[in-house]
Structure 1
Amino acid sequence: MPRLCSICARGGSKGVRNKNIREILGKPLIAYSIDQAKRSGLFDYIAVSSDSEEILSAARQWGADILINRPEILATDNAAKLPVIQHCLMEAERLMGVEFDVVVDLDATAPLRTVNDIIASVKLLEESNISNVITGMPARRSPYFNLVEQDELGRVHLSKTLEVPVLRRQDAPKCFDMNASIYVWKRNVLLERTTLFLHDTGIYVMPEERSIDIDSELDFRIVEWIINAREGVSDE
């Protein structure tokens, strides 16, 4: 079953300048995802898609198999991620002459996942006969209990309600925060769909300490601290 790992990392980050190649413990951020993909032993190829020559150069140095120049239209601030993964898949297949069965996208800005998280997410897809898998962590707030919305008049109300009010958070339906870490797709589903959520989308749940996605300088510092604290401890 041929599998492709895609890592899509554009230049021009607004929240943290050059975050995808900024170093932690002497390694650029993107190297952590490449290394995890390699150590998982799951992938025939690891492809990095970027509009930045600096990022592609770092990806080559740290072991990516395929370097894909992302077109400008897919590298804007408003570009959706799904078309970027689709483009990466199609280019990888064209360059390698291989049709993959499974595509796993690792977000370069979520390096706290473990190799076992990747393996378990792929196993969930392949053994459950579902179309795709996302990863997330248990939500800190519940839309049925303590997550509120504000209407056009400024009034607040619970985001979601049930016929029987939820009086304890523990009684609310399970809710999760997406952590943007791992996305697993069956190839044909990925190429045919325009939305992430399908009737049979599955979720692999990760703890909060492995679920930080770097969007700010504070996020980067927290991730840097955790990686430093983990140094010398196996992530498998």
Structure 2
Amino acid sequence: MDELVRICTITVRAGSKGVPGKNLRVIAGVPLFGHSVRQAAESGLFDEVVVTTDSQEILDLAPSFGATDIVVRPPHMATDTAGKVQAIAHAVLEIEERRGVRFDTSVDLDATSPLRTVDDIRAAVALFDASDVDSLITGSEARRNPYFNLVELQPDGTVAVSKTPDAAVLRRQDAPRSFDMNGSIYVWKRNSLIENPVVFFPSTIIYEMPQERSQDIDSEHDFDIVKWQMESARPIA
């Protein structure tokens, strides 16, 4: 079997409403986005490690952390309402044209989820390679289960369990397992990504990660938690 040709993208916008300038904020001596670039390079899995961004400062810094190439993210793909997957597909096609290569697999590491380990990346990609699926996501077991203790607000102001089970669930352990997406690692078949740039396909599978490596940064509080974990003596592996 021929060796697979893989690309890893790290998509990094200059702006952020929740945590202004978060991707350039320093944690453990490195700008936030730099941790994901380093992990991709250290994994040894990728023919290309590409940073796609609308920030000139990030474009200038990316090679120092192991990026093999950079892509300027088009303005319409860098707004607050733009989807990330379209920017990933754009970067894949851009690098294919530059290098004259066709990738088999596309992996994206979210810059706001740096608590993953290199082993997580290797294991997630290995699981994907061993499965005939279109995409893989990562997540941790949900703290609230939609069949048991996650409720939705109804139009009349009452609340009800989000998903009604066929039979009453008296213990959380008896409910179907549910997961919180942690946004850490995404894997696609290249053709599936380009033909239909979405996260979920009928065949999508999950690589489970522990909660202590699943914190992503969407608020100042999240940033403080991740910074503490990465800079303290407490191990995350």
TM-score of the superposition, structure 1-length normalised? 0.96
The answer to whether structure 1 residue 176 and structure 2 residue 173 are counterparts is no
Question: Deviation at 1:187?
Answer: 0.4
Q: Which runs of 5+ in 1 are unaligned?
A: none
> The residue matched to 1:125 in structure 2 has which SS?
helix
The answer for the alignment partner of 1:198 in structure 2 is 201
- Aligned with residue 10 of structure 1, among 8, 13, 17: 13
Between the two proteins, the alignment pairs up a number of residues equal to 234
- Aligned with residue 98 of structure 2, among 95, 114, 117: 95
Q: Which amino acid aligns with 1:184?
A: V
Residue by residue over 1:32-79, the C-alpha shift from the partner in whole angstroms, topping out at 9 and shown as x without a partner, is: 101111111000110000011011112122221111000010000000
Q: Distance in 2 between matches of 1:174 and 1:234?
A: 24
Q: Which amino acid aligns with 1:2?
A: V
Q: Which runs of 5+ in 2 are unaligned?
A: none
The answer for the alignment partner of 2:132 in structure 1 is 129
The answer for the alignment partner of 1:165 in structure 2 is 168
The answer for the alignment partner of 1:226 in structure 2 is 229
The answer for the alignment partner of 2:157 in structure 1 is 154
Question: Deviation at 1:230?
Answer: 4.8
After superposition, the CA RMSD in angstroms is: 1.3
Question: Does the CA contact (< 8 Å) of 2:54 and 2:78 recur in 1?
Answer: yes
Q: Runs of 4+ in structure 1 displaced over 4 angstroms? A: none
> The residue matched to 2:70 in structure 1 has which SS?
strand
- Aligned with residue 114 of structure 2, among 111, 114, 117: 111
In the superposition, relative to structure 1, how do residues 230 and 43 fare at CA in structure 2: closer, same or farther (>3 Å)?
farther
More displaced stretch, 54-63 vs 44-53: 54-63
Q: Distance in 2 between matches of 1:117 and 1:191?
A: 25
> The residue matched to 1:33 in structure 2 has which SS?
helix
> The residue matched to 1:149 in structure 2 has which SS?
strand
Question: Deviation at 1:198?
Answer: 1.1
More displaced stretch, 222-231 vs 10-19: 222-231
Q: Distance in 2 between matches of 1:230 and 1:116?
A: 20
Question: Deviation at 1:234?
Answer: 9.1
> The residue matched to 2:182 in structure 1 has which SS?
strand
> The residue matched to 1:128 in structure 2 has which SS?
coil
Question: Does the CA contact (< 8 Å) of 2:6 and 2:46 recur in 1?
Answer: yes
Question: Does the CA contact (< 8 Å) of 1:28 and 1:58 recur in 2?
Answer: no
> The residue matched to 2:207 in structure 1 has which SS?
strand
Residue by residue over 1:86-110, the C-alpha shift from the partner in whole angstroms, topping out at 9 and shown as x without a partner, is: 1111111111211110111000010
> The residue matched to 2:130 in structure 1 has which SS?
helix
The answer to whether structure 1 residue 44 and structure 2 residue 51 are counterparts is no
TM-score of the superposition, structure 2-length normalised? 0.95
> The residue matched to 1:104 in structure 2 has which SS?
strand
Question: Deviation at 1:111?
Answer: 0.2
Question: Does the CA contact (< 8 Å) of 1:21 and 1:58 recur in 2?
Answer: no
Q: Distance in 1 between matches of 2:172 and 2:29?
A: 43
- Aligned with residue 144 of structure 1, among 140, 143, 147: 147
Q: Distance in 1 between matches of 2:221 and 2:231?
A: 15
The answer to whether structure 1 residue 207 and structure 2 residue 192 are counterparts is no
Residue by residue over 1:123-182, the C-alpha shift from the partner in whole angstroms, topping out at 9 and shown as x without a partner, is: 111111111100000000000000000112111111001121111100000100000000
Question: Does the CA contact (< 8 Å) of 2:11 and 2:110 recur in 1?
Answer: yes
Q: Which amino acid aligns with 1:217?
A: E
Q: Distance in 2 between matches of 1:136 and 1:146?
A: 19
